[in-house]
A = this chain, B = another copy of it.
């Protein structure tokens, strides 16, 4: 019984520390996305989740390392959402991509066009000045692209996506151009740039000729 009690306390401590760390990352993602890296101070992050300032460094080595991990943390829900769409057994890969982007468009509109995407924002702000974050951004984008690449490859096999352009290039176009459209959305306060992007690539350019209307 002593052993069982010790084990429960140990698990509880670990979970509490993970929970605090997760809260910091959640809050970091939120603030970094809405304010940017340099305009977001550590005090604001820790105060928002009731973590003492001095404790920050027991979770993260530095602000830069924190941001790098916030980047990875930010991507998780997107990777999960896209994976779910792609694993939908009744939907072909191209339609799954379309559904995925359509769902994102609804979400950003609901969010009042604010923030856009953490990846694009930080690429612009600290892509040149933080090697660590640059690395995290690159990895995040690469993971995102790889999922879309696989989907396009499968769609090519199924005959719904053109084969005269490589799936690699098409996945790059999706990932890169989505970022540009999100930036424009932010200043125009409109999802029109996103819709134009989807129409152009997913409903037209990528579609195999035999599948076009």
Mask of A180-197 contacts with B, CB within 8 angstroms, 1/0: 110110111000110011
Q: Are A176's CB and B181's CB within 8 A?
A: yes
Chain A's interface size range is 35 or more
B123 in contact with A183 (CB, 8 Å): yes
CB-CB under 8 A for A34 and B180, given A138-B187, A193-B172: no
Q: Which of A69-127 contact B (CB under 8 A)?
A: 114-116, 120-127
Q: Are A127 and B116 in contact (CB under 8 A)?
A: yes
Inter-chain contacts of A114 with B (CB < 8 A): 128
Q: Is A30 an interface residue (CB 8 A)?
A: no
Q: Contact mask A137-149 → B, CB, 8 Å, 1/0?
A: 1100100000000
Q: How far is the CA of A193 from the CA of B193 in the complex (A)?
A: 19
User: Which stretch of A17-25, A35-43, A56-64, A150-158 is in the interface?
Assistant: A35-43
Complex formed: what's the CA distance from A126 to B38 in Å?
11
A129 CB-CB contact with B under 8 Å: yes
Which A residues lie at the B interface, using CB under 8 A?
34-39, 114-116, 120-129, 134, 137-138, 141, 169, 172-173, 175-181, 183-184, 186-188, 192-193, 196-197, 200, 204-205
A-B CB proximity, top 10 nearest = A180-B180, A38-B38, A121-B124, A124-B124, A179-B180, A123-B183, A127-B186, A177-B177, A176-B180, A36-B125
